[in-house]
């Protein structure tokens, strides 16, 4: 093995001040960095560090590539935005590991957590996830829409605050509107909805509307959407309002 290892690391939402020292140290020690193009672009080039940027939707190929390199003795960091364990590369790496050669199971593999998008978005707006909540990936690339629809209805019935990952893409322009329709039927029109785009980057924008006003077109691939529970409140003030869910509910 000659010292190869694989770290699946979270780069956080965008701001370098939200990258943990643990992740920075792994990148300093790496020989190879692997990931989706815009995430690899966030890693500073260094002499002797190989950067392998690949397109979206090739997660399993990328995971297999990383495992092969580590098995050959490389020190590999697979980078994800946010946290690698939340709708990101860690699950893909373990899928590839389970399907791959038995020897891969002996590799030194670590997952290095990061600030996932819903926590960054929540912090910018206040504390909408301050009480029980759920996180749902709205992409139907990997699961059927009826399952998503059923899960949404149950989440509303349970009165969770709901964080939507991958709310909308060019290939799926309508899923977020369909989700809002399900929630309006279950919760009424009054829930606050946060659209938090490109949080902690120079392009950051926040918008809070009621569920009745919420439209899919208010989100894109860089947007995190959080729908409040029945207890979520807005505190009005001169600046942006504060969105939070009290601890008792």
**In the complex, minimum distance from the CB of residue 96 to a copy of itself, in angstroms, rounded to a whole number:** 11
Residue 148 makes CB contacts below 8 A (sequence gap 6+) with: 136, 138, 140, 175, 179
Distance CA 129, CA 123 (A): 9
Neighbours of 36 (CB within 10 A): 21
Judged by beta carbon, residue 33 or residue 163, the one nearer a copy of itself is: 163
Judged by beta carbon, residue 40 or residue 136, the one nearer a copy of itself is: 136
Q: What angle do CA 140, 145, 151 make, to 5 degrees?
A: 105
Q: Are strands 242-244 and 126-127 parallel, antiparallel or unpaired?
A: parallel
Judged by beta carbon, residue 17 or residue 48, the one nearer a copy of itself is: 17
Distance CA 118, CA 225 (A): 8
**In the complex, minimum distance from the CB of residue 238 to a copy of itself, in angstroms, rounded to a whole number:** 7
Judged by beta carbon, residue 50 or residue 137, the one nearer a copy of itself is: 137
**In the complex, minimum distance from the CB of residue 199 to a copy of itself, in angstroms, rounded to a whole number:** 10
**In the complex, minimum distance from the CB of residue 166 to a copy of itself, in angstroms, rounded to a whole number:** 11
Biggest CA-to-CA distance, the chain = 60
């Amino acid at each position: 093995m000659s010292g190869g290892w694989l770290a699946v690391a979270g780069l956080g939402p965008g701001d370098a001040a939200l990258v943990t020292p643990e992740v920075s140290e792994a990148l300093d020690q790496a020989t190879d960095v692997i990931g989706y193009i815009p995430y690899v672009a966030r890693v500073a080039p260094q002499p002797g560090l190989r950067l392998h940027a690949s397109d979206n939707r090739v997660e399993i190929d990328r995971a297999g590539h990383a495992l092969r390199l580590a098995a050959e003795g490389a020190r590999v960091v697979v980078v994800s935005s946010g946290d690698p364990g939340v709708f990101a590369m860690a699950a893909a790496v373990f899928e590839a590991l389970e399907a791959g050669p038995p020897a891969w199971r002996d590799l030194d593999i670590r997952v290095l957590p990061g600030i996932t998008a819903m926590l960054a978005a929540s912090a910018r707006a206040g504390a909408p996830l301050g009480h029980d909540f759920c996180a749902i990936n709205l992409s139907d690339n990997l699961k059927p829409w009826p399952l998503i629809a059923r899960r949404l209805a149950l989440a509303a019935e349970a009165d969770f605050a709901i964080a939507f990952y991958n709310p909308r893409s060019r290939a799926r322009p309508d899923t977020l509107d369909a989700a809002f329709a399900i929630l309006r039927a279950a919760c009424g029109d009054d829930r606050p909805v946060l659209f938090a785009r490109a949080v902690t980057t120079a392009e950051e924008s926040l918008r809070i509307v009621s569920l009745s006003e919420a439209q899919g077109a208010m989100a894109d691939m860089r947007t995190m959407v959080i729908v409040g529970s029945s207890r979520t409140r807005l505190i009005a003030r001169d600046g942006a309002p504060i969105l939070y869910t009290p601890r008792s509910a």
